[in-house]
Amino acid sequence: KEDRLDILVNNAGATWGAEIDEFPESGWDKTMDLNVKYLFFLTQKFLGALRAAGDKDDPARVINIGSVNGITHPHMTNYAYSASKAAVHQLTRHMGADLAPQYINVNGIAPGFFPSKMTSHLLDHADELGAGMPRGRIGDAKDAAGTAIYLSSRASAWMTGQVLVLDGGLVANAG
């Protein structure tokens, strides 16, 4: 209904866990389709509206949500998830370079452990998990909101193709 779109946040995600010998193709496809394929094609569908919103000084924004699992070994059997989030990070860099001349900035966020439907099975141990991180806690809504607001604001107008790691120091501490 709108002819312009200032900000598109691609924040859908699915995961699948199974030992490598039993990992099903259907789980791989479901995860890759939602996490990578749909992100790309949804962005493609909104390019006209994004182009209409951006200008030289203040481009339109696309924010892709990746994961620290796409950067470091996750120590879980979520093969498709970690591969898909690594693909999201590369797609962010690729699209960021290609769309910048059209006044569309594409950046990403690679969150660490945050409360969500996907992590709900671990929330009973959130304090314990957070204590093992350099910042001593898990992420919260204010952390995520602040990062998204920065990427949506004029302050990030000269930044494209980057993935901000938002993980309380987890990746930096990975070694």
Active site residues: 81
Beta bridge partners, 64, equal 10, 108
Q: What share of the chain is helix, strand, coil (3-state, %, to 5)?
A: 45, 15, 40
Taking alpha carbons only, the member of 153, 63, 156 closest to residue 111 is 63
